[in-house]
Amino acid sequence: SVEAETQHQLNVIFLPYPAPGHMIPMVDTARLFAKHGVSVTIITTPANALNFQKTIDSDFNCGYHIRTRVLPFPAAQVGLPDGLENLKDATNLEIFEKVRLGILMIKDEIELLFQELQPDSLVTDMLLPWTVESAAKLGIPRLYYYSSSYFSTCAKYSIRKYQPHKGLVSDTHRFTIPGLPHNVEMTPLQLEDGLRIESSFTEFFDAVHESESRSYAALYNNFHELEGDYEQLYKSTVGKSWSVGPVSAWVYNDDERKTNRGHKEDLAQESEWLDWLNSKQNESVLYVSFGSLSRLPHSQLVELAHGLEHSGHSFIWVIRKNNESENVHSFLGEFEEKMKESKKGYIIWNWAPQLLILDHPAIGGFLTHCGWNSILESVSAGLPMITWPIFGEQFYNEKLVVDVLKIGVPVGAKENKLVATEEDAGVGREEIAKAVVHLMGKEESRDMRRRARKLSDAAKKSIEEGGSSYHNLIQLLDELKSLKITRALDTPL
What are the catalytic residues? 22, 125
Which H, E and C letters describe 7-70, residue by residue?
HHCCEEEEECCCCHHHHHHHHHHHHHHHHCCCEEEEEECHHHHCCCHHHHHHHHHCCCCEEEEE
Of the two residues 120 and 377, which places its CB atom closer to ligand UDP in the complex?
377
- Which member of 152, 289, 311, 445 binds ligand UDP (CB under 6 A)? 289
Q: Calculate the CA 137 to chain-centre distance.
A: 30
Can residue 180 be called a binding residue for ligand UDP (CB under 6 A)? no
Of the two residues 119 and 392, which places its CB atom closer to ligand UDP in the complex?
392
Query: 261 to each of 232, 290, 322, how far by Cα in Å?
Result: 32, 17, 22
> Is residue 357 within 8 Å of residue 259, measured between CB atoms?
no
Which DSSP state fits 85?
A: T
Run of H or E including 410: strand 408-410
What residues from 415 to 444 belong to the interface with ligand UDP (CB under 6 A)?
Answer: none
Of the two residues 78 and 381, which places its CB atom closer to ligand UDP in the complex?
381
Quick one: CA dihedral 171, 174, 175, 180, positive or negative?
positive
Between CA 306 and CA 294 the distance in angstroms is 20
b/e sequence 145-157, b meaning 16+ C-beta within 10 Å:
bbbbbbbbbbbbb
The 371-400 site mask, x for binding ligand UDP (CB under 6 A), equals xxxx--x-----------------------
- Which member of 247, 293, 411, 427 binds ligand UDP (CB under 6 A)? 293
CA distance between the termini of the chain: 22
- Which member of 138, 186, 352, 400 binds ligand UDP (CB under 6 A)? 352
Instruction: Give me the least distance between CB of 392 and ligand UDP, in Å please.
Output: 8
Can residue 469 be called a binding residue for ligand UDP (CB under 6 A)? no
Q: Calculate the CA 480 to chain-centre distance.
A: 25
Instruction: Give me the least distance between CB of 255 and ligand UDP, in Å please.
Output: 14
Instruction: Give me the least distance between CB of 279 and ligand UDP, in Å please.
Output: 21
What residues from 116 to 145 belong to the interface with ligand UDP (CB under 6 A)?
Answer: none
Region from 58-66, 286-294, 461-469, 473-481 binding ligand UDP, contact rule CB under 6 A = 286-294
Q: Calculate the CA 186 to chain-centre distance.
A: 22
What is the chain's alpha carbon radius of gyration, rounded to the nearest angstrom? 22
Omega into 46 within 30° of 0, i.e. cis? no
Between CA 335 and CA 354 the distance in angstroms is 22
What residues from 253 to 282 belong to the interface with ligand UDP (CB under 6 A)?
Answer: 261-262
Angle separating helix axes 107-117 and 131-138, nearest 10 degrees: 30
Can residue 292 be called a binding residue for ligand UDP (CB under 6 A)? yes
Of the two residues 125 and 225, which places its CB atom closer to ligand UDP in the complex?
125
Instruction: Give me the least distance between CB of 291 and ligand UDP, in Å please.
Output: 3
DSSP string of 215-262, one letter each residue: SSEEEES--HHHHHHHHHHHHHHT--EEE---HHHHHTTT-GGGGGTT
Between CA 486 and CA 312 the distance in angstroms is 63
- Which member of 48, 354, 445, 469 binds ligand UDP (CB under 6 A)? 354
The 356-375 site mask, x for binding ligand UDP (CB under 6 A), equals ---------------xxxx-
Listed residue (434, 392, 375, 373) closest to 409, CA to CA: 434
Of the two residues 364 and 371, which places its CB atom closer to ligand UDP in the complex?
371
Instruction: Give me the least distance between CB of 363 and ligand UDP, in Å please.
Output: 13
Instruction: Give me the least distance between CB of 442 and ligand UDP, in Å please.
Output: 26
Instruction: Give me the least distance between CB of 348 and ligand UDP, in Å please.
Output: 7
What residues from 316 to 335 belong to the interface with ligand UDP (CB under 6 A)?
Answer: 318
Of the two residues 175 and 287, which places its CB atom closer to ligand UDP in the complex?
287
Between CA 386 and CA 402 the distance in angstroms is 9
Number of H helices, E strands in the chain: 21, 15
Which DSSP state fits 188?
A: G
- Which member of 205, 351, 388, 396 binds ligand UDP (CB under 6 A)? 351
Of the two residues 316 and 433, which places its CB atom closer to ligand UDP in the complex?
316
Instruction: Give me the least distance between CB of 37 and ligand UDP, in Å please.
Output: 25
Can residue 291 be called a binding residue for ligand UDP (CB under 6 A)? yes
Of the two residues 171 and 415, which places its CB atom closer to ligand UDP in the complex?
415
Run of H or E including 387: strand 385-387
Q: How many residues bind ligand UDP (CB under 6 A)?
A: 18
Of the two residues 216 and 388, which places its CB atom closer to ligand UDP in the complex?
388
Q: What residue is closest to ligand UDP based on CB?
A: 21
Write the single-letter amino acid at 199: S
What residues from 188 to 227 belong to the interface with ligand UDP (CB under 6 A)?
Answer: none
What residues from 17 to 56 belong to the interface with ligand UDP (CB under 6 A)?
Answer: 20-21, 24
Binding residues for ligand UDP, per CB under 6 A? 20-21, 24, 261-262, 289, 291-293, 318, 351-352, 354, 371-374, 377
